[in-house]
Amino acid sequence: MGSPKMAKSAMKQGIWRRRIGAPFAAVLVAAVLAVVVFSGQFAKGPNASSQFAPVQVDNTLRPTRDKPVSADQDLERTVSSKLEGEDTEQIRLEDGQSPNKEAAIEEQKPSQAAAIDQDDNTLNPGLKQASGDERSAGGSDSLGKESPPQSQEGDGGTAESGAEPYIKCTAQSDIKICDLSNPRFDICELCGDARTIGQSSTVVYVPQNRASNGEEWIIRAQSRKHLPWIKKVTIKSVNSSEPEPICTSKHHIPAIVFALGGLTANVWHDFSDVLVPLFLTARQFNRDVQLIITNNQPWFIKKYSAIFSRLTRHEIIDFDSDGQIRCYPHVIVGLRSHRDLGIDPSSSPQNYTMVDFRLFVREAYGLPAAEVDIPYKADKDDPDKKPRIMLIDRGKSRRFVNVAHVVQGLDWFGFEVVKADPKIDSNLDEFVRLVDSCDAIMGVHGAGLTNMVFLRSGGVVVHIVPYGIKFMADGFYGAPARDMGLRHVEYSISPEESTLLEKYGWNHTVINDPETIRKGGWEKVAEFYMSKQDIVLNMTRFGPSLLNAIEFIM
């Protein structure tokens, strides 16, 4: 080790080396940086090649920055189901036909309430309008009314001077712009020179070969293309005889044009119809994409702002009130969708799965990483630790009539019960942490079970299936739970556990022949089994299912 004298001498030498060497190193680093910057400027000279021809911006305009407008101005109208208390979850019946759902347009003013909307109506009267001073997703004050023309050197994805050209999308003459063949959704992808015109709900494509004949498509830009109340978007390919619209704002990033509305405000539809399809369509761009929304619902952006901010770092545009002509090198109109609340990895070029989606959502809300155990296992050395189960008690239909007895039974089986009340207007950011603190979630078939997306890997979904709807239970919640890496325990109630038995008796078709009711179509299923039924849970009969859930947790 040497003597103390030698150690002190070595320390002094080190101090002098640092004093002399630090200024020299600083000068050297500054010189290297100067060379890099100087050479980078010349690399972007007038002869630099680009895969796309540059779009000329009308230089007669005086460029100014967009003035941000609150996300909560002029809430859009949306749609509510006429069937009171009915799930807006669409059922795929055996004949393959979509259910016929009547809809009425009403004023909607929901906000960032927790995702425990249990009445499954499109509207939730308990949701409140977002306050005007709060910002929209992605940290921008977007989704406002008409904006002035943007500068070429601005925010929100506007093309900057000397910006690198976008080369991830290559225009090919033999590929059709729009694909209308999918039974769930229509989608159009414009590679090259695409221009969005919000005032006419139009996206114009200027092909490299202007000799081709112009084409036009009109689609509903959401994952349920048959909903008639979603606003349509026109996609138009111009030919040589048509003037191309003059850009007022030029961007170097891709854009996605899609619709809100539809059956949103039911948390199952929020995820199944919008958030999962948007993940499928936008995640590939790693936040470097602009979202352009028609049928805008500011409350939706506010409620799921954490998710939107993980999908884009750019301004979100309200398409219906946008006064600009925006030019992009790549525009997708519509959202890809594989199935109800599901992803087919083989149909995704990026091989996304529902596990990827669940972990993405958890990351967006800052929840523990994938390798962290469910809470009970994480603290299994605590002798007083009990597995924690969230009990979702619905609001109007398919309620637990004997909820106090259910809570008592769960406690007897060894659970710590966390009761989620759909009437509580709680902050979603707080609510997802409450779900994350649980090992299991339990509820009657309905939208509230969608909150399983906030459980940790290996968490358990205890799914109570009302009488008469077993045929659709697994598709809505069982398969999605398994696809997300969760455990699913399904319990189908007996006629004795349904209030329908007391209403109709053993001899009624509703009780003795559910298949006949089902053949009558969605309206009959909704009328009897979804809207008029409550649950009297037999904890003795239900016990083995709870033991199964406990085995999964242990």
Sheet strands (E) in 136-201: 178-179, 187-197
DSSP sequence for 429-498: HHHHHHHHT-SEEEEESSGGGGGGGGSPTT-EEEEEEPTT-HHHHIIIIIHHHHHTT-EEEEEEPPGGGB
CA distance 249 to 269: 34
Which residues contact residue 18 at a Cβ distance below 8 angstroms, ignoring those fewer than 6 apart?
none
Length of the chain: 554
Residue 354, amino acid: M
Residue 156 is given by DSSP the state: T
User: Can you give the pLDDT at residue 119?
Assistant: 47
34 touches 123 (CB < 8 A): no
And the tokens for 5? 């004298």
Sheet strands (E) in 48-129: 77-81, 103-107
CA distance 251 to 166: 9
pTM, entire model = 0.74
Per-residue pLDDT of the chain (554 residues; tens, 9 = 90+): 444 344 334 434 443 444 445 444 444 545 544 443 344 433 333 333 333 333 333 332 333 333 333 333 332 333 333 333 334 333 333 333 333 333 333 333 344 445 554 444 333 323 333 333 333 333 333 443 333 344 333 345 555 444 555 667 766 666 789 999 999 999 999 999 999 999 999 999 998 876 667 899 999 999 999 999 999 999 999 988 888 999 999 999 999 999 999 999 999 999 999 999 999 999 999 999 999 999 999 999 999 999 999 999 999 999 999 999 999 999 999 999 999 999 999 999 899 999 999 999 999 999 999 999 999 999 878 888 999 999 998 878 999 999 999 999 999 999 999 998 655 546 888 999 999 999 999 999 999 999 999 999 999 999 999 999 999 999 999 999 999 999 999 999 999 999 999 999 999 999 999 999 999 999 999 999 999 999 999 999 999 999 999 999 99
CA distance 549 to 537: 17
Show the domains of the chain with their CATH numbers. 178-352 (no CATH), 372-553 (3.40.50)
CA distance 435 to 452: 8
Q: Which residues of 248-259 are buried (b: 16+ CB within 10 A; e: fewer)?
A: bbbbbbbbbbbb
3-state secondary structure (DSSP) of residue 39? helix
Burial of residue 426, with CB atoms counted within 10 A of its CB: 0-12 exposed, 13-18 middle, 19 or more buried: middle
Q: Which residue has the tokens 């976008």?
A: 166
Give the residue among 68, 73, 76, 79 at the shortest CA–CA distance from 130. Answer: 73
Q: Which residue has the tokens 């609150």?
A: 70
Relative to beta strand 232-237, strand 202-205 is: parallel
